[in-house]
Copies of this chain bind each other. A is one copy, B any other.
Amino acid sequence: MAALNDSTASVSELKSRVLAFARARDWEQFHSPKNLSMALAAEAAELMEHFLWTTPEQSSVTARDPARRARIAEELADIVIYALEFANATDLDVAAAVEAKIEANAKKYPVEKARGRADKYTEL
């Protein structure tokens, strides 16, 4: 099988892969938006567990530590897989949603006001 990578894989190809996996196991019955949102949050927490007690700076080192990197990549993959399953279950277009959200964020966080600041837009 040709290996996927970010430069060539479309979002639809990834969505098809996770859908085929779930269908082959008759798992769509479990994939309600409620359940998938829980699974997504649970996987996000597992990614976070790698960085609980480090400083933000140290976390960049942790993420490149060969002993952990493979596991961190797996946690990220789990998150993306559930996000794609959620999109499959609800017929949402991920790329369109991302583009729309970036445009909305650009209005909430204009460059000149937001540059170098981590404040919420309501506090800029």
Contacts and interface: CB of A to CB of B under 8 A. Distances in A.
A100 B76 CA distance: 11
19 contacts: A4-B98, A7-B10, A10-B10, A21-B102, A25-B116, A30-B118, A32-B60, A33-B50, A34-B51, A34-B55, A34-B56, A35-B52, A38-B52, A41-B47, A42-B48, A42-B52, A73-B97, A73-B100, A74-B101
* Stoichiometry, copies per complex: 4
Nearest to A45: B45
A64 B90 contact: yes
Contact of A56 (B35, B83, B116): B35
A95 B86 CA distance: 17
Given A32-B56, A56-B34, A77 B48 contact: no
Interface string A71-110: 0111011111101101101101111111111101110010
Given A38-B52, A53-B30, A90 B105 contact: no
